[in-house]
């Protein structure tokens, strides 16, 4: 089963969900806003793709953080703490594919090659 993690009103998440639905691929959607980020899943993502990929340093949530908060994110441990506290700072969508692979973001060409 595919699990797509994100926020429902995010445009990129909307595109990813539509892409999966158009191909009749079954998936579970995990809403960060309602359900939070599962701590054990965050560990899996961090190991798979690294904190630099997961933390969206171009987004408004990151820009709204105090300078000291941004400066404190220096490794996987500090990034995880921020991601659990501020779910909107996670680049979206995070996808855990049926084979266990984790990807971040949406790219139709890359996703098509997965199939």
Q: What is the pLDDT along the chain (115 residues), one digit of tens a residue?
A: 999 999 999 999 999 999 999 999 999 999 998 999 999 999 999 999 999 999 999 999 999 999 999 999 999 999 999 999 999 999 999 999 999 999 999 999 999 998 7
Q: How many domains does the chain have?
A: 1
Single pTM value for the model: 0.92
Which domain does 108 fall in, by range? 2-114
Q: Decide if 51 contacts 80 (C-beta within 8 A).
A: yes
Rounded CA separation 11/29 (Å): 15
pLDDT at 115: 79
Tokens 């820009």, residue located = 63
Where residue 29 sits, what CATH number does that domain have?
3.40.30.10
Token readout for 30 is 């995990």
Active-site residues: which are they?
10
Cα gap 104→81, rounded to integer Å? 18
């Amino acid at each position: 089963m595919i699990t797509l993690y994100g926020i429902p009103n995010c445009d990129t998440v909307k595109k990813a969900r539509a892409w999966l639905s158009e191909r009749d691929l079954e998936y579970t959607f995990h809403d960060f806003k309602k359900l939070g980020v599962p701590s054990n899943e965050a560990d899996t993502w961090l190991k798979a793709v690294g904190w630099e990929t997961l933390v969206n340093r171009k987004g408004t949530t990151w820009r709204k953080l105090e300078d000291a908060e941004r400066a404190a994110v220096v490794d996987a441990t500090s990034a995880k703490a921020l991601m659990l506290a501020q779910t909107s700072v996670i680049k979206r969508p995070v996808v855990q594919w049926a084979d266990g692979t984790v990807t971040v973001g949406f790219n139709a060409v890359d996703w098509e090659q997965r199939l």
